[in-house]
């Protein structure tokens, strides 16, 4: 079993490729960072890139990602994103299946080096922006 990711760094700071980043983003959707930091290393030890992943079966993947919940949806999202990734131009991350605003903002920050005020509270914290007040 692979060692969990470091707890004091964001998942996005602990991956090696853009594809791995997108997998991490999909895993973080509707899930806390601690379970992802345990599951993602095992996932990446089996499928380090999109080509290896696309040669897997959904059943193999679900066995690994089951602890995160929503495993059928996650597997479909990672598979769809991986297929799109093969022809993606590396610009707009929302062009990848399953990648929304958070994934796009995260990609822009960690891979394109852009600095802007993101919507997500964890990305805001990472960049040093104050947290937005909740409107009741």
pLDDT digits over 90-136, tens only? 999 999 999 999 999 999 999 999 999 999 999 999 999 988 777 66
- Residue 1 has a pLDDT of 64
Average of per-residue pLDDT values in the chain: 93
Catalytic entry in 49, 84, 92, 120? 120
Per-residue tokens: 5: 């990711």
Q: Percentage of residues in the chain with pLDDT exceeding 90?
A: 81
- Contact present, 53 and 45 (Cβ < 8 Å): no
Residue 8 is among the residues annotated as catalytic for this protein: no
Helix, strand or coil, per DSSP, at residue 37: helix
Q: What is the CATH number of domain 11-127?
A: 1.10.340.30
Q: Which residue in this structure is represented by tokens 């997998």?
A: 23
Q: Whole-model pTM?
A: 0.92
CA quadruple 30, 28, 102, 100: dihedral positive or negative?
negative
Question: How far apart (Å, rounded) are the C-alpha atoms in residues 17 and 107?
Answer: 11
- Residue 3 has a pLDDT of 78
Closest-CA residue to 68 (of 99, 46, 37): 37
């Amino acid at each position: 079993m692979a060692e969990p990711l470091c707890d004091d760094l964001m998942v996005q700071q602990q991956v090696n490729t853009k594809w791995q980043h997108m997998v991490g983003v999909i895993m973080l959707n509707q899930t806390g960072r601690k379970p992802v930091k345990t599951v993602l290393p095992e996932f990446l030890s089996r499928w380090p890139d999109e080509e290896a992943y696309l040669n897997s079966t959904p059943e193999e993947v679900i066995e690994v990602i089951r602890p995160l919940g929503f495993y059928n949806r996650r597997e479909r999202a990672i598979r769809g994103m991986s297929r799109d990734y093969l022809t993606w131009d590396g610009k707009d991350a929302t062009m990848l299946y399953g990648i929304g605003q958070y994934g796009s903002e995260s990609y822009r920050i960690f891979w394109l080096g852009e600095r802007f005020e993101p919507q997500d509270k964890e990305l805001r914290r990472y960049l040093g922006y104050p947290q937005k007040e909740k409107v009741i």
